[in-house]
Amino acid sequence: MHCIGSCKTYKATTTGMEGGRYELGQKRCPECELFLNWDGLWCPCCGRLLRSKPRAKKIKTRIRN
């Protein structure tokens, strides 16, 4: 499926707090290319699986420690 634009209502804002987006509970949709404040595993807009963990090794090690 493709993005239909309804995900914009769940768009997460950046904060100046210590910690990354994943540490704050935000999830990323690879199809819509947005970080979302959403509790489910699937994007409410396009239905794709949301990423809840970072892909970058540097950020992964920071979250583990």
Give the bridge partners for 51, in sequence order.
28
E-state strands within the chain:
27-29, 34-36
**pTM tops 0.75, yes or no:** yes
Range of the domain at 38: 1-65
Question: pLDDT-derived band of residue 18, with 50, 70 and 90 as boundaries?
Answer: low
Q: What angle do CA 55, 58, 51 make, to 5 degrees?
A: 20
Percent with pLDDT over 90 in the chain? 32
pLDDT for 33-61, tens place per residue? 999 999 999 999 899 999 998 888 887 88
* Tally of structural domains, the chain: 1
Query: Tokens standing for 14?
Result: 């950046």
- Residues 27, 51 contacting (CB under 8 angstroms): yes
